Chain A
C-alpha cells in the first residue's frame, strides 16, 4: 500500500532489467515528474543511468554506446515519437515501458517501425501517478471539471491514474462513491469499466476482506483547502507552494543562489521526514536543535584543524557534515521565510478567525472578528477574501447573514475584482446546495459530546482545531457506519451479493480514497494519523492534485462556475434585501 515504494520498485526493476552499461532514461513530461518524486539524481546515477532525456526533445545526439530505458505514458504523441525514434535509433538498444495500458494497434505500429531490431523489451509498468508520500498520491491535474461535469480529457487521465494505482498496489477493490456528486459517479463507473475490461490484469490473490475504493468530490468540503495550515508540509505548500517536492524560493528576499529552488523529499531528507507532520512551534525548536548539532560538528574557525587527529576526524565526518550543512541551510531558510510571511501577513490572527469560522457556530463573534480583520491593513487581499469566503460558506443560510456588508468592506479595502467575484463562485462551488452532507453542525449526539469535550480541555491548539470532513467520513467507513444512501456501492449485483454474506461485518482494511478536485496536505495528515491510530487499517489518499488555497481557487475558477455568479449575486442581493 506504499505508493512511493510501488513506483520506486517499478523504476528499479526497469533499470535492473537493462543490465550493466551506460544508460539513458527517456521520458515524457509527466513521467519525468513521476520518476523525480521517488528517485534523486545521485541515487539513480549509482545505477548507471547518466542521462535523462525527453522523448520530445529534438536535440538528441546519436549515442550508440548507451542503452535507452523508455518510460512513457501511452499517449498518441508518445507513440508517434517512439516510432520516429525506432526508425532512426539513437541508442543501441531500447527497453520500452509504458505507464499504463497500451493498445494492441500501437504495439503493432511500434513493432513495424523497429526495422533494426533495437527493441529488447515492451512492458506495461503501472507507475502512472505522482507518489507524494507513502500514503498520498496526486495526478497533478488542475481544473478537472467544467461546471459540474468532467472535462473528458481529465476524466480519462483520472481513470488511468486510478487504475494504475490499483494495479501497482495489486488491489481489485469494491467501489463506493459520493452520491451527491455526478463526477464521482462518473469516475467510479469508468474505473469499474476498466476493471471489467482488463479483468485478467486485475486478478490478484483474493484477500479475505476486499479492498475499497472511495471516490469523493471536493465540493463536499470546500472549507479545508481555504484554511491556513500550521504543520510543516502543509504550511510550506500553503505559503510557498510545493510542486513535485520542489519549492521555489526565488522570491524570498536576499536568497542565495543555490537555494533558489530547494527539494523537500521525505525519502532522502531525514529532518523533513521527521518533522513534516509537526506543527510550526515544534519545527522551530527542532531547527534549533539541528543548528546546534551542526555547530558541534562544524570545525570552528579559530580552532583550525591543528592536529592530524583533528583533520582525520573532520575528514571522516565530512560527507555527513556536508549533507547536514545542506539540510541545515535549506530548512533554516524555509522556516525563516515561513515565519517572515506569518508575521508580515498577520497570519496568526487570521488563522485564529479562520478556525473559528470553520469550527464554531457563533455567528456574531465570527462576523465581528472578520470585520475587525478586514480593517487591519496588514491583512492581505488574499487573506481577506478567504475570510469572507469562509464566512460565506458557513453562514450561507444564516438568518442574519451579512455577506453584502462584508463584500462592501472588501471593496473598500481595495480587494481586486477577481477575488471579490471568487467569493460567490466558491459558494457556488461548495455551498449548501451542492453539499451532500452537513459540513458544519455536528451530526449526532456522539459528535456533539466530542466537540463539547474538546472545548472543555481548553488546551487544544487554536490554530489546528479544524478536522477535515474527510476524517469523519473515513472514521465512519472504518467502523462500517458510512451510510449507503449517501455513499452507495457501485457495481453489478453479483459483486454486491458476494459481499452481502458478510455485509454486516464488512469493515474495509485497505482503503483508497480519491478526491475529485484535489486533496490537501491537511487531509494527508489526517489520513496519516488514522493509519497510525487504527490497527489493521491502511488508507491511501489521492486527489486530482494536492491543493493549497491558491491552487484551489484556481480550480474553482477553472471549473467555469463563475458564469453563474450572476445568479448567486442575485441570491446575495435577495439575502440582503431580506435583511
Chain B
C-alpha cells in the first residue's frame, strides 16, 4: 500500500475529490463540488456512491450485532454474527425443489382414448347435419326414408329378433325402429327422439370445429334457414300425426346420450355466469390500484414535505381517481356478495362461500391499500410547508457557516494548550519518522479525498449528489428515476434536519459542562490507563485459551481497515479547519501530536470545543501506554505484529468512543467508522471500554461462557424472575461480592481437583480463577 502513495505528496484538507483543489472549509468544498462537478461524468459519483453504500452495508452489519431493538434483545444470544453459524431463517435462498411432469404421458394415454370418443361424436353430428339438411315438411316420407337410409346403412330387420335394450320380442305390435344416426334397431319404448332445435344447436356449434369434416356442398346458412321454416310450419302437423314425427329424428339411447353430453359442453362454454363478469371487473380495478397507488403515494409524500416537484392539483386529481377505483372495488365486491341471494332455491353453500371469500379478499385489499393513502395538504398548508422548508434550508446553511467559524477559532485557541500538555519525555523521544510512515499506510489520496467528503458529512454529500442527479435525470426526461431520487432526497433531508436540531441542543449543553468534564476525565483516564495495561497483559496470556477473548481480539482486526481512513481523514480535516494549523501539523514530527489531536478534530468544526477536553486527555492517555502503533513503527515498521495489534486496539478505543459521543453532527459517519468497535457504547461519557463491557452484558455475544465474567450468565437461573438489566452502575458492589464468592468457590474446586489428581481440570480452574481475580481488580479500579 505504501508504495502506491508517496508520503511527500500527501495532501490534506478539504480536497475536492475530482480536481484535488484545496478548499478551505467543508462548506466551501460542498458548494465548489456542486458548482463545478455536478454536471460531470457519473462514474466518479458512482464510485463515491458505491463507497458510501459499502460503508453503509458494513455499518448495518455491525449495528445489527449490537441489536438495540427490544424485540430482538432476546434472540441476541444466538446472533449469528458472533458465532459464525446461521439461523435457519436466514439460510441462503433455495431453488424450487425437484419436480416431475407426467403431462406428456397423460396426454398420450388420453389422446388414445379421446380420439375414439371424439370421432364417434363427430360422426353422429355429421349424420345429424345430413338428416336435417333438407326440407323435411315438403318432402315425401318415402324420399325422407331414402335419404335417411343413405346417411347410415340400416341394420337388417331379420338380424334382430329382440330389442337389444329391453329384450322384448319384436312382433307386429312391437315394431322395429331404426336409429337414424347409427342404424341400429330398437323397440318403440326404447326409442329416443331428437328435436330439430337441438339438432340445430349441436350442428351449428360444431360447425367451426368440424369444418374439416363437413362436406363443402352443405352450406350452413341454408341449413339454418330451412330449419327455421320447418319448425314453424310443422309444429301443428306433428301434434296430429303421431306416427310421422317429421320434426324429430329417431335415434337410440346411446346416440342421444352422447349428443346430450355434447350439448352440455356447448352450454357451459357459452355461458358466463354473472359472478365471473363481476369478478373480472373487480380484478381490473385492483390492477389499476396497484398501478396508480404507488405513484400517488410518492407524490403525496413529496408534497407533504413541502417539495415542489409535483403539482398539487395533479396529485389531487390522482387521489380522486384512486379513491373512485376503491369505491368501485367496494361496490363490485358487495354486488358479488349479494349475488343470487334472493333466488328461490337458495344457491349452494359453496357458491355463497365463494362470494363471501371474494368479498373478504377485496376488503382486505382495500384495507391494506387505502389506509396507506395519505392525505394531501390544502393549498394554504402547502404554501406554508414550502415556506417552512425554505426557512429550514436557510437555517441549516447559517448554522453550518457559524459552526465552521467557531471551529477555526477554537482550534487556534487550543493548539498552544495541546503542545504544553504533550511535554512528556517519552513522547518527545518517540517523535520523528513515524508520522509520515503512518500516513502512508493503506490509503490512496484519491480515495482518501473522496472518503473525506463522504466522512465529513455523508448526508450533505448525498443530498447534493442526489440533487444533481435529479437535475440530470430531469434533463434526460427519465421521470421514474426522478421519482426514486426525489424520495431518496426527501429522506435524507429529513434526517439531516433532525441531526441539525440535535446538534444545536447538544452544543449548548456541552459548552456549559465542558470545564468540569475536562478535569474529571483527565483523572479518570489516567487510572484507566493503568488498568488497561493490566488487561493487555491478561489478554495476551489468555490469547489462545478462551474463545471469548479470541473474539475480542479478532474484532479489532477486522475493523482495522475501517479505522485507518478515519485517522487519515483526520489529517485532512485538520488542514481544512485551520489553515494555520495545516502548515504546522505535518511539520510536527510527533506522532502523538500529529495523530491524536487530529483524530479528535475530525468531527465537525463547530464541536471542536467539546473535543478538546478529550483530545488532551486522550493524549495523556496515550503517553504512558507507549502507543503501540508508534512503537511498532519504530522497531519494525514492516511487521504487522499480530501480538501487539490486539493489545493496541483497546488504547485506540477511547478516542473513537469519544468522537462518537460528542459528535451528533456526524452521527452517521461516526457509526460507519466506529460502530463496529466492540468497546464503544453510545450512552456513557467515555468510560473505559472494559467497564463498558461489564456494564452491558446484553450487548455482548452471550454464547460461549466467558470464564472471567460469570455475571453475564446469571440472567436465567430462574425462568420466573423477570431479570432486570444488570447494566446499572449501582450494582457494582453486589457484583463484587459475587465475584469474591466465586473466587472462593473455585479455590475450593481447585483444591478438590488436586486431591483427586485431575490435573487438566486444575489447569482450567486456575485459568478461571485468574480471570476472576482480574475482573475483580478491574471492578475495584472502576469503582474508585
Contacts and interface: CB of A to CB of B under 8 A. Distances in A.
B113 A112 contact: yes
B102 interface: yes
Interface string B743-780: 00110010000000000110011001000000000000
A280 B279 contact: no
Nearest to A528: B88
Interface string B88-116: 11010011111111110111111001100
A22 B85 contact: no
B102 A277 contact: no
A531 interface: yes
A135 B761 contact: no
B354 A50 contact: yes
A408 interface: no
Contacts of A116: 265
Interface string A45-70: 11000110100000111011110000
Most chain B C-beta atoms within 10 Å of own C-beta, residue among A101, A127, A274: A274
A169 B96 CA distance: 8
Nearest to B351: A61
A53 to B, nearest CB: 8
A119 B88 contact: no
A17 to B, nearest CB: 10
Interface in B681-725: 703, 705, 710, 713-714, 716-723
B705 A457 contact: yes
B109 A289 contact: no
B592 to A, nearest CB: 40
A328 to B, nearest CB: 13
Nearest to A232: B74
B721 A281 contact: yes
A500 interface: no
B710 A457 contact: yes
B358 A13 contact: no
A127 B95 CA distance: 14
Contacts of A315: 371
Contact of A170 (B71, B97, B765): B97
A6 B71 contact: no
B98 A168 contact: yes
A149 to B, nearest CB: 31
A86 to B, nearest CB: 10
Contact of B97 (A6, A270, A273): A6
A53 B375 CA distance: 42
Nearest to A230: B719
A449 B717 CA distance: 21
B268 to A, nearest CB: 5
A537 B85 contact: yes
Most chain B C-beta atoms within 10 Å of own C-beta, residue among A22, A170, A284, A312: A22
Nearest to B107: A111
B350 A60 contact: yes
Given A115-B114, A126-B97, A449-B764, A532 B358 contact: no
Given A42-B364, A274-B72, A456-B749, A281 B722 contact: yes
A461 B371 contact: no
A134 B261 CA distance: 49
Interface in A495-519: none
Nearest to B738: A459
B425 interface: no
Interface stretch (A102-110, A179-187, A206-214, A480-488): A102-110
Contacts of B276: 22, 65
B87 A531 contact: yes
Contacts of A133: 88
Count class of interface residues, chain B? 35 or more
B719 A280 contact: yes
A127 B96 CA distance: 11
Given A170-B98, A281-B722, A459-B710, A50 B272 contact: no
Given A122-B101, A456-B745, A529-B78, A108 B360 contact: no
Interface string A127-145: 1000001110000000000
A533 B703 contact: yes
A458 B717 CA distance: 9
Contacts of A64: 268
B106 A134 contact: no
Nearest to B100: A124
A135 B109 contact: no
A532 B86 contact: yes
B97 A535 contact: no
Interface in B314-364: 348-351, 353-354, 357-358, 360-361, 364
A460 B705 CA distance: 11
Most chain B C-beta atoms within 10 Å of own C-beta, residue among A59, A123, A133, A289: A123
Contacts of B288: none
B717 A459 contact: yes
B705 A319 contact: no
Nearest to B712: A459
Contacts of A521: none
A445 B348 CA distance: 72
Contact of A289 (B70, B83, B717): B70
Contacts of B102: 102, 107, 122-124
B367 interface: yes
Contact of B719 (A45, A125, A281, A318): A281
B102 to A, nearest CB: 4
Nearest to A108: B109
Contacts of A125: 97, 99
Contacts of A121: 101, 103
A246 to B, nearest CB: 20
B216 interface: no
B350 A63 contact: yes
A285 interface: yes
A282 B610 CA distance: 41
A114 interface: yes
Given A45-B357, A121-B103, A122-B102, A2 B713 contact: no
A449 B79 CA distance: 27
Nearest to A286: B74
A22 B359 CA distance: 13
A117 to B, nearest CB: 6
A170 B93 CA distance: 13
A111 B106 CA distance: 5
A312 B375 contact: yes
A6 B94 contact: yes
Interface in A268-314: 270-271, 273-275, 277-282, 284-286, 288-289, 312
A319 B89 CA distance: 26
B75 interface: yes
Contacts of A453: 764
B106 A10 contact: no
A457 B713 contact: yes
B718 A316 contact: no
A456 B79 CA distance: 26
A69 to B, nearest CB: 15
Given A45-B357, A115-B114, A461-B717, A532 B351 contact: no
A275 B107 CA distance: 50
A111 B113 contact: yes
A201 B723 contact: no
Contacts of B714: 459
A284 B715 CA distance: 14
B8 interface: no
Nearest to B71: A274
B471 interface: no
Contacts of B354: 22, 50-51, 63, 66
30 contacts: A2-B94, A10-B99, A42-B364, A45-B357, A65-B272, A65-B273, A92-B268, A108-B109, A111-B113, A112-B109, A112-B110, A125-B99, A127-B97, A133-B88, A273-B89, A279-B716, A281-B718, A281-B719, A281-B723, A282-B723, A285-B723, A289-B70, A316-B372, A449-B764, A456-B746, A457-B713, A459-B714, A460-B713, A528-B87, A532-B83
Given A230-B719, A532-B80, 14 more contacts: A1-B94, A10-B99, A45-B357, A102-B102, A119-B106, A134-B88, A282-B74, A284-B720, A449-B764, A462-B717, A531-B88, A533-B85, A535-B83, A535-B85
